[in-house]
Amino acid sequence: MADAYIVGAYELPYRKAPDKSVAQMHGEAALGALADAGLTLADVDGYFCAGDATGLGPVSMADYLNLRLRHLDSTEIGGSSYVAHVAHAAEAIRAGKCDVALITLAGRPRQGQKGGLPFPGPEGAWEIPFRPVTANVYAMAAQRHMHEFGTTSEQLAWIKVAASEHAQHNPHAMLPRPVTVEEVLASPIIASPLHMLDCCVVSDGGGALVVARPEIAHGLSRPRVAVKGAGESYKGQNGGAIDITWSAGRMSGATAFAEAGITPADIKYASIYDSFTITVLITLEDLGFCARGRGGAFVADGNLISGVGALPFNTDGGGLCNNHPANRGGMTKVIEAVRQLRSEAHPAVQVPSCDLALVHGTGGFLASRHGSATLILERE
């Protein structure tokens, strides 16, 4: 028996929310995930959120939701926070600090939230004068990977193609039309070498997850998704001695695989954070799905397309085509992995006999500093 199970998952269906507050969206997502699990707010005694939550984070949200808590957590590692929250919830349950943990995400970037570097850190005085924005920081990693390993724009384009092939089956996807490699390459350059179609969408929305102790999970009617392994790490500037062609996923993935007692070859489905196509390619190398520098060859020719390739990924369309709520994609990566393990993904993209899935989140910027979180999930 696992120490903890994901028993509820819910994704807000809309991609634009001009008439809703962020707190209201957190509440809607929470109620949706609890209904999916067959539980109520009264059952929740642990709550987890990150920087997208309004006010004083878990304090304000717990008051808004009228929760009675024994444990709360506001870990903030960008878009990977919600992947880490699942691991933290499992740890809290294992330690006896809570029985039912609720994790929520929501945001409204399409209503005026500005892009760029959202929270200048101690590095701000030295970096902000050079006007870094998200796209060009990721483009630096792509340029360097191309220089080091011969990776091509055509290979990166295959990642977008795979996401779009999946998104056509998602009625809520922002970009539901399949695209070709040629169309990706013909789209405008945003930050060389990244084209517009190499970039994720920007969407309002959110989602929630419910993690429960085994005795509670076994009393519910929903399929049980066990948390089998987890890892977290970060990668920074290291005093200037850095290599921007790899990510912190190298460390978080190794920890998760070791804890689960499996290897990348055992994974049937992968949810990979896809803020940009280069994010996916570097992550796949770092997690051990292919050798370093071989990510371009690995993703080419449809290898990430469900029913076609060896490693189906992001079968809801991911951040590249479906949504990227609050500019934080970790939550939806867990939700789609849960759908796959429950055999509740769209039939056109459902992975046969999907019993082991990997989820990986990246929070921050590949070419400067970021956090990573990796989960191994198993259908019981």
35-81 confidence digits (pLDDT tens) = 999 999 999 999 999 999 999 999 999 999 999 999 999 999 999 99
The pLDDT tens digits for 328-357 are 999 999 999 999 999 999 999 999 999 999
The pLDDT tens digits for 168-212 are 999 999 999 999 999 999 999 999 999 999 999 999 999 999 999
The pLDDT tens digits for 237-295 are 888 889 999 999 999 999 999 999 999 999 999 999 999 999 999 999 999 999 999 99
Full-model pTM? 0.96
Question: pLDDT at position 331, please?
Answer: 98
189 has which bridge partners?
195
Residue 121 pLDDT level (bands cut at 50, 70, 90): confident
pLDDT higher than threshold 50 for residue 304: yes
Residue 1 pLDDT level (bands cut at 50, 70, 90): low
Residue 113 pLDDT level (bands cut at 50, 70, 90): low
Question: pLDDT at position 116, please?
Answer: 43
Alpha-carbon distance of 47 to 68, in angstroms, equals: 9
Percentage, residues of the chain above pLDDT 90: 91
Residue 119 pLDDT level (bands cut at 50, 70, 90): low
pLDDT higher than threshold 80 for residue 144: yes
Question: pLDDT at position 115, please?
Answer: 42
CB 379 within 8 A of CB 341: yes
Question: pLDDT at position 124, please?
Answer: 81
What number is the average pLDDT over the span 217-242?
94
What number is the average pLDDT over the span 97-121?
80
What number is the average pLDDT over the span 150-166?
98
Residue 118 pLDDT level (bands cut at 50, 70, 90): low
3-state SS record for the chain:
CCCCEEEEEEECCCCCCCCCCHHHHHHHHHHHHHHHHCCCHHHCCEEECCCCCCCCCHHHHHHHHCCCCCEEECCCECECHHHHHHHHHHHHHHCCCCCEEEEEEEECHHHCCCCCCCCCCCCHHHHHHHCCCHHHHHHHHHHHHHHHHCCCHHHHHHHHHHHHHHHCCCCCCCCCCCCCHHHHHHCCEEECCEEHHHECCCECEEEEEEEECHHHHCCCCCCCEEEEEEEEEEECCHHHCCCCCCCCHHHHHHHHHHHHCCCHHHCCEEEECCCEHHHHHHHHHHCCCCCCCCHHHHHHHHCCCCCCCCCCECCCCHHHHCCCECCCCHHHHHHHHHHHHCCCCCCCCCCCCCCEEEEEEEEECCCCCEEEEEEEEEEC
Question: pLDDT at position 217, please?
Answer: 97
Question: pLDDT at position 46, please?
Answer: 98
| First-residue to last-residue Cα distance in the chain | 9
Give the torsion through C-alpha atoms of 296, 298, 300, 304, to 10 deg. Answer: -130
**One-letter identity of residue 348:** A
pLDDT higher than threshold 80 for residue 27: yes
Residue ranges and CATH numbers for the domains of the chain are 5-111+204-224 (3.40.47.10), 126-201+227-379 (3.40.47.10)
Closest C-alpha to 179, from 203, 198, 152, 204 = 198
**CA separation (Å) from 140 to 136, 267, 302, 365?**
6, 30, 25, 10
CB neighbours (10 Å) of residue 25?
26
Percentage, residues of the chain above pLDDT 70: 98
Alpha-carbon distance of 271 to 374, in angstroms, equals: 10
Which range has the worst mean pLDDT, 63-67, 110-114, 133-137, 211-215? 110-114
Residue 129 pLDDT level (bands cut at 50, 70, 90): confident
Alpha-carbon distance of 110 to 285, in angstroms, equals: 32
Task: Return mean pLDDT, the chain.
Answer: 95
Residue 40 Cα to chain centre, angstroms: 25
114: Cβ contacts below 8 Å, ≥ 6 apart: none
Closest C-alpha to 288, from 314, 320, 256, 312 = 256
